[in-house]
Amino acid sequence: MQLKKGTFKMLEGLIEDYPTMERYIKQVELEIEYPWQESDDNIGGSRSTATTSITERTGLKLATDKHLRLIRERKKALDKVVQTAKPETIKIIRLWYWTKPRTKTWDGIAEEVGYSKRMCHLLRNEFIESLGKELGEIN
């Protein structure tokens, strides 16, 4: 199946972000649990009008935050695709997307895994297509 260029690039971006996704999820969770609050110099004696506790609000926000939910869904989909992919495919993905700085060209990757350059591209495209299906981006 031929993917649209924008969809393909978006999926590639997710694959590149995969090694740091868990850390990013933890960072977003911490930002929700401990939000930045402007200091209040008002020394008045009025009470807070909030009807829920801070713990309840934090728990509710962690459970319903759209951005956090989207990141978790994408991480879960990537986990599934990585677990079901062939070891050769994972090696190609690791060498092309997760090794920073990128030290090999497609020819170098092909030589290392023992496949042709064309076969490496096909395995990469198969991986990206599987991710797109798992995320519901393609049928």
**Cα torsion through 94, 121, 78, 64, rounded to 10:** 120
pTM: 0.78
Q: Beta-carbon neighbour count of residue 114 at 10 Å?
A: 9
- Say if residues 115 and 61 touch (Cβ distance below 8 Å): no
- pLDDT of 67: 84
- Say if residues 127 and 77 touch (Cβ distance below 8 Å): no
Spell out a b/e string for 75-84, using b for 16 or more CB atoms within 10 Å of the CB, else e: bebbeebbee
Cβ neighbors of 96 (< 8 A, separation 6 or more) are: 102, 104, 106, 109, 124
pLDDT along the chain (139 residues), means of 10: 86 95 89 70 61 64 78 94 96 95 94 96 96 89
CA angle 132, 138, 139 (to 5 degrees): 120
- Say if residues 65 and 118 touch (Cβ distance below 8 Å): no
Cα–Cα distance, 139 to 69 (Å, whole number): 22
